Amino acid sequence: MRCLAAIPVFNESRYLAGILNTVRGQISDVLVIDDGSTDDTPRVLAATPGIHVIRHGANQGYGQSLIDAFGFAAAQRYDWVITLDCDEQHEPGWIPCFIAEARRDDADVISGSRYLEHLAGNSRPPADRRRINCVITEILNSVLGLSLTDSFCGYKAHRVEAMRRLRLSVPGYAFPLQFWTQAARTGLRIREIPVPLIYNDPSRHFGETLNDPDVRLRHYLDVLSESLAEAGMPGTVADPQRGGQRCA
């Protein structure tokens, strides 16, 4: 079973060398998607031998980085791609857990959940992020018939062949809304495993208007409605900010 670790980065030079060193202690094949970084990230990557790199000339978004990782993994004939962030929120020491779960061969998506179990040393998440995660997770479970506890954790193992069946196109932070919709529509087998809840830097932001939690939630609801329509799954998405229904 060939496994690839894929790490999207954007201006993460202060974390990158340490994360790469730790990840490479857990898995031999590593891909970094540099999403148009303007700091020292390109220099750090150039000084790190033995890794694969995709470089975006300009920032294209978190979702596009994952889409490119899936494409690379398919082209290079990997069986699984494990995605994790580079901001120290995802502990690389859990990579063997994802590989072990993948070897069970009973799932297509193995999704980390920071809320499935309370693990020793867990952080307290920023209130707005926890609230939005709860709202979106509840809506996804209701509309798609899923049983998620954490819809926004980027620490996942993806069966590459299953990813080839999806038609993903959302480039930004709303990517999970399209991902979960298509995964459910395609009938992918989904399991969650517990991972640590780590927020070392709660001041990290989404950029531009999405830093406003209400704007961010409305954007997620819009993308979910569009994704449901694209997948031929018409329904309604409750908008808790407006107290009404949004048709998909």
* Any domain includes 50: yes
* Any domain includes 18: yes
* Any domain includes 22: yes
* Any domain includes 221: no
* Any domain includes 35: yes
* Any domain includes 132: no
User: What is the average per-residue pLDDT within 68-82?
Assistant: 98
Give residue-wise pLDDT tens across range 91-113. 899 999 999 999 999 999 999 99
* Any domain includes 234: no
Q: Domain tally for the chain?
A: 1
pLDDT at 203: 62
CATH code of the domain containing 23: 3.90.550.10
- Using an 8 Å Cβ cutoff, are 140 and 146 in contact? yes
**Structural domain harbouring 119:** 3-126+149-203
According to the 3-state scheme, what is the secondary structure of 177-239? HHHHHHHHHHCCCEEEEECCCCCCCCCCCCCHHHHCHHHHHHHHHHHHHHHHHHCCCCCEEEE
Give residue-wise pLDDT tens across range 17-52. 999 999 999 999 999 999 999 999 999 999 999 999
* Any domain includes 7: yes
